[in-house]
Amino acid sequence: MSDTRINDVSAMRVWDSRGRPTVEAQVILRDGSCGRAIAPAGASTGSGEAVDLRDGGDALGGRDVQRALANIRVEIADALRHMDAVDQVAVDALLCRLDGTENKGRLGANATVAVSMASAHAAAAANRVPLWRHLAGDGDVVLPLPEIQIFGGGAHAGGRVDVQDFMIVAPGAESFDQALVWTAEVYAAAGQLLEAQGRLRGVADEGGYWPEFSSNEEALEYLSKAIEAAGLKPVDQVAIALDIAASEFGQRGRYKLSLDGDELDSDGFIERLGAWIGRYPIVSVEDPLAEDDEEGLRAFTARFGKRLQIVGDDYLVTSAARVEHAAAIGACNAVLIKPNQAGTLSEARQALDASRDAGWDAIVSARSGETEDTTIVHLAIGWGAPQLKVGSFARSERMAKWNEVLRVEAALGERARFAGASALGGRGSR
Ligand code: 2PG
Ligand code: MG
């Protein structure tokens, strides 16, 4: 038997996909097994998220993480030493107790999530299996439906387009591999269309094209054209998923669409979204209304919840309690699961379990600031989450994740099963 008690926890500063400092944690067990993980970082964050600890001051835009690193090296390392890394719930409960705040503000969610993930990796290493297998046990696993960005906007593209993520899903694909092939075709077609019209301006934070559109709706036109140009059937094979990220341009029931030169109230904005939903092959909408507009979210869900996946991100911030509340009042029917919004793996897992209890869909998601770390892929597969969102189909911090799923699919061979259309719970056909 290997000794899976924690022997040492260490930390170092590494850099994320926006060139900003972030936290890497390493956990070493008594048997020598080692796990490592890196904290991601969001840009369009919900106000209820667990918060990163940043140093402030002038250097590195105030974003350095020396205090978070010091917390890992001293307090966290002392507290976790001798704990059994296999008992993730106990490790995470201790991190929460040690931090002692509602939002991980004392130790930093960047410190706690990195340690929580590194500890899980160390336990898997001791078990001599990849993390997804360690989490799933011996049971069958299903590969998630990928949600992949084609155009980036909002906070990830200088606010050039108000809507943040114009994405596709491939519910008609037979395998994860085929979903990526179709995505590659759509991504290439979208790039060619933009280039032909002189609209290409590079790529946004998550690798999606940085668009030069004259309205938000024009992005939907281009995306629909790209799906057709790739020779794919809208809805049945490939459909559109949006992250409106409405908290970025909507407060107190007013929605300011700068690109469209419009300011709408909550009802007016729901009408606008309804018009898009009627005209384009949209099957999923994330954060359609702002996090402070619960009434709007309820109204939107009442109107479109039967045919659309309606995902709460800023509004639910990977919190089991918030998911339970939202399900009880009929706001949203799916949750985005981002471990660093919660601050530990166990809390993220609880939010996923709460969504299952509510009969909701769930999407495990990366952040706009990412690294080569692929933990998110292992969580989605190991926890049996039906969908996975990690940004676009370019830039290696994104491709590292898609390629990691391919490795699992290849390792499963004949036993590989793909979530496909079932991930959307029957929504999307019309
Ligand atoms: C989101 C994420 C990922 P960020 O809003 O869903 O696209 O963005 O990490 O900036 O919150
Ligand atoms: Mg979002």
Is residue 134 assigned to a domain? no
d(CA 300, CA 192): 35
Is residue 272 assigned to a domain? yes
The pLDDT profile of the chain, 430 residues, written as one tens digit per residue, is 699 999 999 999 999 999 999 999 999 999 999 999 999 999 999 999 999 999 999 999 999 999 999 999 999 999 999 999 999 999 999 999 999 999 999 999 999 999 999 999 999 999 999 999 999 999 999 999 999 999 999 998 888 899 999 999 999 999 999 999 999 999 999 999 999 999 988 899 999 998 789 999 999 999 999 999 999 999 999 999 999 999 999 999 999 999 999 999 999 999 999 999 999 999 999 999 999 999 999 999 999 999 999 999 999 999 999 999 999 999 999 999 999 999 999 999 999 999 999 999 999 999 999 999 999 999 999 999 999 999 999 999 999 999 999 999 999 999 999 999 999 987 755 4
Residues 218 and 351 reside in one and the same domain: yes
Is residue 430 assigned to a domain? no
Residue identifier of the C-alpha nearest atom 2 of ligand 1:
367
Closest to 405 measured CA to CA, from 190, 238, 178, 232: 178
Measuring from each residue's beta carbon to the nearest atom of ligand 1, which residues come in under 6 Å? 42-45, 164-165, 206, 243, 245, 313, 336, 365, 367-368
- Nearest ligand to the CA of 285 is 2
d(CA 240, CA 223): 8
Q: Given 99, 128, 157, which residue is the final one in a domain?
A: 128
Dihedral (Cα; 313, 314, 318, 321), 10-degree rounding:
-110
Residues 117 and 191 reside in one and the same domain: no
Residues 160 and 294 reside in one and the same domain: yes
CATH of residue 234's domain is: 3.20.20.120
CATH of residue 71's domain is: 3.30.390.10
d(CA 73, CA 40): 19
Residues 179 and 275 reside in one and the same domain: yes
Is residue 137 assigned to a domain? no
Residues 64 and 211 reside in one and the same domain: no
**What is the CA(61)–ligand 2 centre distance, in A?**
24
Domain that holds residue 286: 145-424
Q: Which residues have a catalytic role annotated?
A: 206, 338
Sequence length of the chain is 430
CA atoms in the 13 A half-sphere facing the CB of 394: 19
State the pTM of this model. 0.97
The CA-atom distances, in angstroms, between 386 and each of 142, 147, 355 are 7, 11, 12
Task: Tell me the backbone φ, ψ of residue 153, rounded to 5 degrees.
Answer: -145, -155
Ligand 1, atom nearest to 314 Cα: 5
- Nearest ligand to the CA of 315 is 2
* Sole residue written with tokens 């979210």: 297
Residues 119 and 154 reside in one and the same domain: no
The CA-atom distances, in angstroms, between 422 and each of 171, 253, 388 are 8, 34, 14
Ligand 1, atom nearest to 45 Cα: 11
Is residue 87 assigned to a domain? yes
Is residue 236 assigned to a domain? yes
Residues 152 and 124 reside in one and the same domain: no
**What is the CA(196)–ligand 2 centre distance, in A?**
30
Residues 363 and 275 reside in one and the same domain: yes
* Sole residue written with tokens 């699992």: 408
Residues 109 and 176 reside in one and the same domain: no
Q: Given 75, 103, 128, which residue is the final one in a domain?
A: 128
**What is the CA(34)–ligand 2 centre distance, in A?**
32
Count of domains forming the chain: 2
Indicate the top mutation candidate among 47, 49, 165, 285 to test ligand 1's pocket, ranked by most ligand atoms within 8 A of CB.
165
Residues 241 and 101 reside in one and the same domain: no
Residues 312 and 226 reside in one and the same domain: yes
Closest to 283 measured CA to CA, from 205, 349, 361, 225: 361
Is residue 304 assigned to a domain? yes
Residues 186 and 156 reside in one and the same domain: yes
The CA-atom distances, in angstroms, between 201 and each of 118, 153, 296 are 37, 12, 34
Q: Given 66, 98, 128, which residue is the final one in a domain?
A: 128
d(CA 78, CA 81): 6
Residue identifier of the C-alpha nearest atom 4 of ligand 1:
42
Q: Which residues contact 284 (CB under 8 A, 6 or more apart)?
A: 147, 169, 239, 240, 241, 242, 308, 309, 310, 311, 334, 424, 427, 428
Helix orientation angle between 345-357 and 88-99, rounded to the nearest 10 degrees: 110
**What is the CA(289)–ligand 2 centre distance, in A?**
11
